[in-house]
Structure 1
Amino acid sequence: MLNFSQICVDAHDPTALGAWWAEFLGWPHRTDSDGDVVLTPPPGHGPEWLFLAVPEDKVVKNRLHPDFTPEDQQAEVDRALALGARRVDIGQGEQSWVVLADPEGNEFCILAAEQ
């Protein structure tokens, strides 16, 4: 049996990107002994996120991305944009979700609130 323990995110600046995601998600973060930034979710909210330093910038669309379901989609989109996210067009067309990118260009979606 496997335990899903971490999601690893390559980052040009793991300190800045980890801090951005920690603020967006409202999760505590720390730097581990390897210099990686670790975000710890509340119990029952998924695995840790680990931000790892890489020398190259992101250049293509993510093959894997997180989706978030808020109570108020527009409020969360506005909050993400105010923190430095940007809207991106990955060919999704008109959908009920909003595709955004973090400061290093990693895509994520904010879904419509559940009814």
Structure 2
Amino acid sequence: MTLEWRHVVVHSANPAALGQWWAEALGWVVVHTSDVEFAIRPEADRSPGLEFVLLEEAKKAKSRLHLDFVPDDQDAEVARLEALGAKRVDIGQGDQPWVVMADPEGNEFCVLGRRPQNTTS
């Protein structure tokens, strides 16, 4: 048996708005929209992607699943994401080398330290 990972599903009060926010934050393309779904991918034919699905219920607690991102420049990415509407959040992480943030609907994600450089001898 073979499984293909297609999407990470994010429940959302406004799938189109949140999906568009993530498309802009990640530089991804929109591959599907409807009244209740909004899907984005890195490229139209490349999986996995993110699919935002309508759930008319507010987020109630810390997310049980979150995304981690590795930037070239952590400070610059955090500032860019804040300018797009993300917020830094404290979920009890303490003093760490990563920054915990939340998207406009409060879904947490982390911006890790700088990507390790390839070193070859």
TM-score by length of 2: 0.88
User: Aligned partners of 1:2 and 1:29: how far apart in 2?
Assistant: 23
User: Aligned partners of 1:62 and 1:3: how far apart in 2?
Assistant: 24
Shift of 1:33: 4.9
Larger Rg: 2
Where do residues 9-24 of structure 1 align in structure 2 (5 Å cutoff)? 9-24=10-25
Equivalent in the alignment of 1:39: 40
Where do residues 42-57 of structure 1 align in structure 2 (5 Å cutoff)? 42=43, 47-57=48-58
Q: Deviation digits for residues 8-56 of structure 1, max 9, x if unmatched?
A: 000000011001000000111144356410101138x751110000110
User: Is the counterpart of residue 2 in structure 1 residue 12 in structure 2?
Assistant: no
Aligned residue pairs: how many?
115
User: Aligned partners of 1:33 and 1:111: how far apart in 2?
Assistant: 33
Provide the alpha-carbon RMSD of the alignment.
1.9
Equivalent in the alignment of 1:69: 70
Gaps of 5+ in 2: 117-121
Find runs of 4+ consecutive structure 1 residues off by over 4 angstroms: none
The answer to which of 74-83 and 33-42 deviates more is: 33-42
Equivalent in the alignment of 2:80: 79
Q: Deviation digits for residues 95-115 of structure 1, max 9, x if unmatched?
A: 000000000000000000123
- Which residue identity lines up with residue 41 of structure 2 in the other structure? T
The answer to which of 30-39 and 103-112 deviates more is: 30-39
User: Aligned partners of 2:63 and 2:69: how far apart in 1?
Assistant: 16
SS at match of 1:18: helix
Gaps of 5+ in 1: none
